[in-house]
Amino acid sequence: MTIQDELQETIAGLIDGQRGILAADESTGTIAKRFSSVGVESNEENRRNYRAALLSSEGLGEFVSGVILFEETLGQSDPTGAPLAQVAASQKIIPGIKVDKGKGLLPGGSGDMITYGLDGLADRLQEYKKQGARFAKWREVYPVTLHNPTELGLHANAEMLARYAAICQSEGVVPIVEPEVLMDGAHSIGRSAEANEQVWHSVFHALHKHGVILELILLKPSMVTPGSESSRAEPQQVAEYTLRSLRRTVPAAVPSINFLSGGQAAEEATANLNALNQLSGAPWQLSFSYGRALQQPALAVWRGQSENTVAAQSALVKRAHLNHLAMLGQYQENLEPKA
């Protein structure tokens, strides 16, 4: 099998018009904050038990086609000794891996951010493939202010995403390209649309320059929403702004757009995805790659107690099912679990 055949096989397994991607790739620092919110200590055993519970949720594979794992998780096994990547694969959920090494301020005083981790990436991908990973994810983060993202920030971040994607494809690993335009701030939905269009335009310009095959990537963008300190937009408005901006900047060759939730509440992220698919007529599959918006209800039930595992798994599968319905434009708020 050629590298391009490998990539195409993975793409075909991830995209079926029915399922999305579970992001379970929180860094050690981020998962510690999530655990702390429900009174659970973030040690290796608790992280393993939690993620093993997520991946073994009965029926999850009906609604989730891939899972993004943290490096620690890819090397862990469940209580029976089965590698967690195999636990996912047994449900026809393709394992993937977060490969960036976190972010910091972009030197130059612009106020933009940059993500680290390109050094040695090809070698790491070879090892991850041996452990079962078939796709990867790299996130660049864009703050929105009156001046950001700047031209420097746009160029530097796009280059990082394009170089990462090119390395992935050369190793037979499908790249998820994640340019996250942050919700933090009081900016309007119009300013958000402007920033997202600048970001997406720069990213695809760089992907083209680096020879990345667009048919063999997934895009994981933000939805176009107002800043978190601004007034909330209704799903119809979010859908209209998001689709207009995507049509202006994202080539039709991209097979799937798997939105990040980016701080949206679970119900909000599902309602917005549903509105996007009801309005659609888009050339891409419009799907999800949610972390907290899928996991939070399950984490709130689990709370580190093994006797809560089945109930937590049920909460996760319920959330995944609702987002499956949103992909079909068939989600209704009355389907939400009663508080």
- Does 220 qualify as catalytic in the annotation? yes
Catalytic residue among 197, 220, 240, 268: 220
Instruction: Please say whether the beta carbons of 284 and 252 come within 8 A.
Output: yes
Helical pair 28-36 and 44-55, crossing angle rounded to 10 deg: 80
Interatomic CA distance for residues 197 and 243, integer angstroms: 11
- Does 62 qualify as catalytic in the annotation? no
Catalytic residue among 6, 140, 159, 178: 178
Interatomic CA distance for residues 261 and 272, integer angstroms: 10
Interatomic CA distance for residues 327 and 74, integer angstroms: 28
What values do phi and psi take at 170, rounded to 5? -65, -20
Interatomic CA distance for residues 289 and 223, integer angstroms: 12
Instruction: Please say whether the beta carbons of 22 and 54 come within 8 A.
Output: yes
Q: Do the bridges between strand 103-105 and strand 285-290 make them parallel or antiparallel, or are there none, so unpaired?
A: unpaired
Contacts of 181 (CB under 8 A, 6+ apart): 142, 144, 149, 192, 195, 196, 199, 221, 222
What values do phi and psi take at 95, rounded to 5? -75, 140
Interatomic CA distance for residues 112 and 107, integer angstroms: 8
What values do phi and psi take at 113, rounded to 5? -110, 165
Count of helix runs (H) and strand runs (E) in the chain: 12, 10
Q: Count of CB atoms within 10 A of residue 1's CB?
A: 8
Catalytic residue positions?
178, 220
